[in-house]
Amino acid sequence: MEIVLRYQINHANIVPFSGICVEAPNVCQLTEFYPKGSLENVLSAHKVPLDWDVKFSILKDIARGMEYIHGSSIGSHGRLKSSNCMMDNRWSIRIGGFGLEIVRRSPKISENISNPTSMLWTSPELLREHFQLDDVMPGTKPGDVYSFAIIISELCTEEHPYALERNVLSTEEILILLKNLEDPANRGLRTTWISYGGSPTDNMRPAIHKSQLPVEPQEQRGLVQLMASCWKEFDALRPTFKEVLTQLNSIKPVKGDLVDILIKRFVDASKELQIEKERLEELLGRLLPKKIVEDMIHGKKVEAEQFEMVTVCFSDISDFVSMAKELSPYEVINLLNGLYMCFDTIIENFDVYKVETVRDEYMVVSGLPVRNGYMHASEIAMLALNLMAAIILIARYTSVNRLLMLRIGMHSGPCVAGVVGLQMPRYCLFGDTVNTASRMKSSSTALQIHMSEATTNVLKIVGGFQYEYRGEREVKGRGKMKTYWLRGADNFTKPLPNPKLAVSSELQQYK
């Protein structure tokens, strides 16, 4: 008869009964398998963060299942606890571990006195009458409500019941205080509990910190009141599960299935992750070339690469050292910040990559990591002309209130480029082309664009640029080199600063 009654139990929040074996010593029942395990498993693993939307949904599932059991032929559960609340694939709770006395009495299933922890969910009035969980039998309806309150405390702390109290009291001592806190024989245990934060006027119950409760004041207040009513010392004063469910719906009136809530939350989180992903890619794009960032995102190995022909450009303020002596550190920073913000805006219009800025030196390159034929020289040349033209406008807005003595140098040739570093990765260039471009800049003069013969030859192929032969120059590390001044371009109409306005050569820094 007992098996028939259990088989007839059918509810969305009850573990369905599939079969039973009554032949000793293999007495057991067959139920569905739940990969997520029990609520106890989920809470103790701490692998899945549970917010209060999920926790309230869990409590409602348990209340609905228990309301059904209390209205069924089973009558009551008797051993309601988190380990008997199974979690299915839809994050819904299914209650098991009740009924079928023949199974519970099996030696393999029996939860005897050797495991006092299993009694921590048992109500005080049942603890006074029974010494082990098997003796509780189906328990009582008020006893189940008390057990529900202990599960609420588990969801708050995300730990086993009385986790805090068990720092100073054993499980057996906690059970003694639960049975009779006021017994004079228990005075020493009671004093220990009170000294550790227990209330001298309240009954022994799990300690819960305010930070472990819901954040919303209404939810926090409602949950505390519900918990207090469910674990009242006198069983007749405890609510029914129908009343519990009504209170839960009043505290947290969430509509819809938990999976729907989780899907919506996942969609919202995905949108936030996409925004963060775009921000991260934008940040990486400021440190590394776009193509390199895309390769890294797609898991491709970024190795150093040889480029046959690129154009490297350096610029600086020729009299920066003498000028900086006249300014405060804050004025120097503001000056360079304004200058580089202007330059960064300009380079967005060209196929170039800003390699780095060091003090007043600004380095860019074209032709890598994406090759662009002969256009690397023309892209750098047009950029240089626009930077030089911008100096006229920048002079009106800087704190120095004077024309900045910008000088530019560029050279074309082969180089090797690759990502260097892990914590602060940089896309770096290596090779003689970089050194020569730097020499073109340092051997230039203020308000002039200086370029090597190699760059000039590429510009001749592209066409449309005006340049002037400077002559042969002794370049450190390279010997004599033919160099040129870039004077303009056919489609460039912006005014350039007159080199005659440059400061005296004594104030310019040459390398």
Q: Domain total for the chain?
A: 2
| Residue 101: predicted pLDDT | 61
Asked if residue 107 is part of any domain, the answer here is no
143's enclosing H/E stretch is helix 141-157
- Looking at the structure, do residues 359 and 420 belong to the same domain, yes or no? yes
Asked if residue 369 has a cis previous peptide bond (ω within 30° of 0), the answer is yes
| Residue 147: predicted pLDDT | 96
Q: 368: burial class by Cβ within 10 Å (0-12, 13-18, 19+)?
A: buried
346's enclosing H/E stretch is helix 329-347
| Residue 39: predicted pLDDT | 93
Asked if residue 444 is part of any domain, the answer here is yes
Asked if residue 178 is part of any domain, the answer here is no
Look at the alpha carbons of 501, 459, 476, 420 in this order and tell me if their dihedral is positive or negative: positive
Backbone angles phi, psi at 337, to 5 degrees: -65, -45
Q: How far apart are CA 498 and CA 399, in angstroms?
A: 21
Q: Are strands 17-21 and 305-317 parallel, antiparallel or unpaired?
A: unpaired
Structure tokens at 306: 């040889």
Ramachandran class of 350: left when φ > 0, alpha when ψ lies in -120 to 50, beta otherwise: beta
Asked if residue 112 is part of any domain, the answer here is no
- Looking at the structure, do residues 56 and 134 belong to the same domain, yes or no? yes
| Residue 306: predicted pLDDT | 92
Pair 229, 241: CB distance under 8 Å:
no
Q: How far apart are CA 358 and CA 363, in angstroms?
A: 9
Asked if residue 482 is part of any domain, the answer here is yes
Max CA-CA distance within the chain? Answer: 111
- Looking at the structure, do residues 236 and 340 belong to the same domain, yes or no? no
Domain with residue 503: its CATH number is 3.30.70.1230
Enumerate helices (H) and strands (E) in the chain, giving the number of each. Answer: 18, 12
- Looking at the structure, do residues 247 and 314 belong to the same domain, yes or no? no
Asked if residue 431 is part of any domain, the answer here is yes
87's enclosing H/E stretch is strand 85-87
Pair 417, 307: CB distance under 8 Å:
yes
Pair 380, 441: CB distance under 8 Å:
no
Backbone angles phi, psi at 51, to 5 degrees: -90, 180
- Looking at the structure, do residues 87 and 234 belong to the same domain, yes or no? yes
Asked if residue 297 is part of any domain, the answer here is no
Closest among 473, 476, 405, 489 to 439, alpha carbons compared: 476
- Looking at the structure, do residues 222 and 346 belong to the same domain, yes or no? no
Q: How far apart are CA 336 and CA 128, in angstroms?
A: 80
| Residue 229: predicted pLDDT | 96
pTM of the predicted structure, to 2 decimals: 0.56
- Looking at the structure, do residues 242 and 309 belong to the same domain, yes or no? no
474's enclosing H/E stretch is strand 465-475
- Looking at the structure, do residues 349 and 239 belong to the same domain, yes or no? no
| Residue 474: predicted pLDDT | 84
Q: What is the pLDDT along the chain (511 residues), one digit of tens a residue?
A: 566 666 677 888 998 876 777 677 777 777 788 888 999 999 988 777 788 988 999 999 999 999 999 998 888 999 999 999 999 888 889 998 876 665 555 554 444 445 889 899 999 999 998 877 777 778 899 999 999 999 999 999 999 999 989 889 999 999 999 988 788 888 888 888 888 777 777 888 999 999 999 999 999 999 999 999 999 999 999 999 999 999 999 999 866 566 666 677 677 777 888 888 778 777 776 667 777 777 776 777 777 889 999 999 999 988 888 887 888 888 888 888 888 888 989 999 999 998 888 888 899 999 988 899 999 999 999 999 999 998 887 765 556 667 888 999 999 999 998 887 777 778 888 999 999 999 999 889 889 999 999 999 999 999 999 999 999 988 887 888 999 999 999 989 999 988 888 765 544 554 4
Q: Are strands 406-420 and 449-452 parallel, antiparallel or unpaired?
A: parallel
Domain with residue 59: its CATH number is 1.10.510.10
- Looking at the structure, do residues 228 and 317 belong to the same domain, yes or no? no
Around 478, how many Cα atoms within 13 Å sit in the side-chain half-sphere?
Answer: 21
| Residue 113: predicted pLDDT | 43
- Looking at the structure, do residues 390 and 468 belong to the same domain, yes or no? yes
Instruction: State which of 238, 254, 270 marks the end of a domain.
Output: 254
Q: Which residues pair with 22 in a beta bridge?
A: none
- Looking at the structure, do residues 243 and 308 belong to the same domain, yes or no? no
- Looking at the structure, do residues 471 and 353 belong to the same domain, yes or no? yes
Around 89, how many Cα atoms within 13 Å sit in the side-chain half-sphere?
Answer: 3
Structural domain containing residue 234: 35-96+117-164+206-254
Instruction: State which of 195, 228, 254 marks the end of a domain.
Output: 254
Asked if residue 446 is part of any domain, the answer here is yes
Q: How far apart are CA 118 and CA 107, in angstroms?
A: 16
Closest among 495, 326, 346, 340 to 401, alpha carbons compared: 326
Structure tokens at 289: 């070339």
The amino acid sitting at 441 is K
Q: How far apart are CA 244 and CA 251, in angstroms?
A: 10
Alpha carbon separation from 123 to 145, 147, 157, 431 (Å, rounded):
9, 7, 20, 80
The amino acid sitting at 499 is P
